[in-house]
Amino acid sequence: MKAALIIAAFALPLFQDGTAAAQQTRSAPSQNPQSAPVADRPLATARTSENAGFLTGNQLYSRCTETSPTSSSFCFAFIAGVHDTVRAYETWLKIREFCPPADVAQSDMRNSFMAYAKQRPASLSGQAASVVVAALKAKYPCPVQ
């Protein structure tokens, strides 16, 4: 139950103007998001009943493998945002989801996500934030108390 609350924190990705994906989708003019350059595409382009409005693990993995500065920055920022959001909820819920060293680098967290994705490609159909949390839990387990 607590894990579900943490994952729910990433429910709606925000666009650069601060509007939620659901608001952007309702009010955006009809156009093909795949025809826009990567940097200009909405975060969530795949729409299924399982991930409507969310960035999938596949989409994040794709952005993390692209070499453009925009995609690289997006990848690092998304993973850092998941980390920071989980930390905030951990404080509120008084639990620990994962326990990286205090000086963990963003590149280490990205590498953890990429390694997890390569080892478990089926997980990438899920929501990106959930996959990032699972990857960080696998890489940085907390000591049993």
Local structure of residue 133 (DSSP, 8 states):
H
Q: What are phi and psi of 90, to 5 degrees?
A: -60, -40
User: Does residue 109 contact residue 100 with C-beta atoms inside 8 Å?
Assistant: yes
Q: Which two tokens stand for residue 24?
A: 């952007």
Query: Residue 24's pLDDT is what?
Result: 35
Would you give the distance in Å from CA 76 to the centre of its chain? 10
- What is the full per-residue pLDDT of the chain (145 aa) written as tens digits? 344 333 333 333 433 344 333 333 333 333 444 444 444 444 444 444 554 558 999 999 999 999 999 999 999 999 999 999 999 998 888 899 999 999 999 999 999 999 999 999 999 999 999 999 999 999 999 988 7
Provide the residue ranges of all domains of the chain, joining segments of one domain with +: 2-139
pLDDT, tens digit, for every residue of 51-86? 455 899 999 999 999 999 999 999 999 999 999 999
Write down the pLDDT at residue 46: 44
Q: Which pLDDT value is given to residue 72?
A: 93
User: Nearest Cα to 78, choosing from 14, 32, 134, 4?
Assistant: 14
Name the CATH code of domain 2-139 (choices 3.40.50.800, 3.40.1350.10, 1.20.1250.20, 1.10.890.40): 1.10.890.40
pLDDT at residue number 14: 38
The rounded Cα 108 to chain-centroid distance in angstroms is: 15
